[in-house]
Amino acid sequence: MFLADTRGGGELPLLQALVHPASPTKGLYTLKTIPQLDFAPCLNYSYQELAAHICAALGLSGTMLQRALERYNAFAQTAPLKILKPNLAVQELYHGPTLAFKDMALQPLGALLGSLAKESQEKFLILVATSGDTGPATLASLAGLENIKVVCLYPAKGTSLVQALQMQTMDAPNLKVYGIEGNFDDAQSALKNLLNDPEFNTQLQEKGFSIGVANSVNFGRVLFQIIYHVWAYLEWVRSKTLKFGDFIRVVVPSGNFGNALGAFYAKEMGLPVAKIAIVSNANDVLAEFFNTGVYDISHRTLQKTYAPAMDILKSSNVERLLYALFGHERTKECMQNLDTQKRYTLGASELEKLREHFEAISCTDAECLGYIKQIYKDFNYLIDPHTATAFKALESLKSPLPSVIVSTASWAKFPKTTCLALENKPAKDDKEALEVLAKQGIVPPSCVTDLFKKPPIHTEVLKVAEIASHIKAWL
């Protein structure tokens, strides 16, 4: 299987694109064609068998993949489906080592990258920028692997304390974490600039390193995000409350759009999905785009919200969607306009095509808190602030379709917000919030409370202009 450059810069074999994801056009590698699959025979598959089946259809198979998929054996559960009522289910994607959905893709991808580095005897520097969940998941996936070093960038004041501690306390000699002055968009832009900086790349090569990424710039992330959408559907059918062939709606809290893109690919492969509902927070550029066809960040400044992983204005995976729907020439035109004018506009027929697949809504911070409290009251079920935004979509986008909400993280990563929602009074910090919640019998996994007992190792905070020199000095 070859992947295509979204801006027309040629093709690369899938495995090569995983380890060398930087495109010569500054585009992204993506599926050139989307295979059609019959998922009915998969009803009796385990999660790993389903993953192997879908990966094989995309040209990835063999012993290396099987070893990568064995990473799921260490999960407490693998993407379980909780059915709240006959037409509503929640897929819990947060039972991996860092309690967030990013583990679902990064655990097998990290194993693949480790195997490829060992097999080729190449040394790789893997860069990752995070809004809070990708960073810990990448570090956990790649810690201690031979021939791989990892640099993680996160906004120093843009994550929860638990998320920050997950990164700051990560102890392995091949890992380095830097807070940066700025927001996630600044971190992601810095990463992309390093990927495409000839001088930086030459200096890395002189040190014997090739550069790679674990962000969703790397198609491997999206590949493994297709699988759990299919699994959710099959699980629902296996529960006897959904018939195979019945259409559903998938509701996705969205930031960088990789999770929703995985649902789109699953739909195009043949999964019976009628609509994919995109939910934004106050940074509602995606809601505006899917409702109007205008992607405009020229007048926006990033707002910090209770759902920080969604605090993103430039959702990079939308580029892959544009390619799938409109081809590389139109995609390149839109991306150039976004770079130069901070906006682009789809035509009426293009918007109509977009809306065949997607609908969108945004959710305020006050509504987010309200849904956390309401769902806990109604179902004795505790959700994180990102998942809470998805319940706004159910209320606003009226539809008789059975809906599955993609639950992206454990509430325990956001105890301060959870405490505010349930107790209606702010805690000083995450640690105090956990103590307040514990008095109500709400106890997090031990891996969260253990974080507060570990000394932070990675405490440096850099200006964007300092990143390259610090990375070179560390290497």
| CA–CA dist 120, 423 (Å, integer) | 54
Q: Which domains does the chain have, with CATH numbers?
A: 75-101+220-412 (3.40.50.1100), 103-218+456-474 (3.40.50.1100)
Tokens of 397: 């986008």
Per-residue pLDDT 10s for the chain (475 aa) are: 899 999 999 999 999 999 888 888 999 999 999 999 999 999 999 999 999 999 999 999 999 999 999 999 999 999 999 999 999 999 999 999 999 999 999 999 999 999 999 998 999 999 998 888 889 999 999 999 999 999 999 999 888 899 999 999 999 999 999 999 998 888 888 888 888 888 999 999 999 998 888 888 899 999 999 999 999 999 999 999 999 999 999 999 999 999 999 999 999 999 999 999 999 999 999 999 999 999 999 999 999 999 988 989 999 999 999 999 999 999 999 999 999 999 999 999 999 999 999 999 999 999 999 999 999 999 999 999 999 999 999 989 888 899 999 999 999 999 999 999 999 999 999 999 999 999 999 999 999 999 999 999 999 999 999 999 999 999 9
Single-letter amino acid code for the residue at 268: E
Cβ atoms of 226 and 266 within 8 Å: the answer is yes
| CA–CA dist 273, 451 (Å, integer) | 39
| Paired strand residues for 5 | 29
The β-bridge relationship of strands 209-213 and 123-129 is parallel
* Closest C-alpha to 429, from 163, 168, 167: 163
Q: What's the N-to-C CA distance of the chain in angstroms?
A: 34
pTM, full prediction: 0.95
Cα 389 from chain centroid (whole Å): 16
Spell out the residues 6+ positions from residue 428 whose beta carbon is closer than 8 angstroms to its own: none
In what order do the strands lie in the sheet containing 148-155?
209-213, 123-129, 148-155, 175-180, 461-462
Task: Please state, as a whole number, how many other Cβ atoms lie within 10 Å of the Cβ of residue 450.
Answer: 11
Q: How many residues does the chain have?
A: 475
Task: Indicate the Cα dihedral angle 65, 67, 73, 77, nearest 10°.
Answer: -20
pLDDT, residue 42, reads: 98
| CA–CA dist 152, 10 (Å, integer) | 29
pLDDT, residue 1, reads: 85
| CA–CA dist 1, 34 (Å, integer) | 11
* Closest C-alpha to 80, from 393, 404, 448, 384: 404
Q: What angle do CA 257, 32, 218 make, to 5 degrees?
A: 45
φ, ψ at 143 (rounded to 5°)? -60, 130
Cβ atoms of 264 and 276 within 8 Å: the answer is yes
- Tens digit of each residue's pLDDT (9 = 90 or more) over 87-106: 999 999 999 999 999 999 99
Cα 378 from chain centroid (whole Å): 28
| CA–CA dist 382, 411 (Å, integer) | 7
pLDDT, residue 188, reads: 82
pLDDT, residue 435, reads: 95
| CA–CA dist 369, 375 (Å, integer) | 10
φ, ψ at 354 (rounded to 5°)? -60, -45
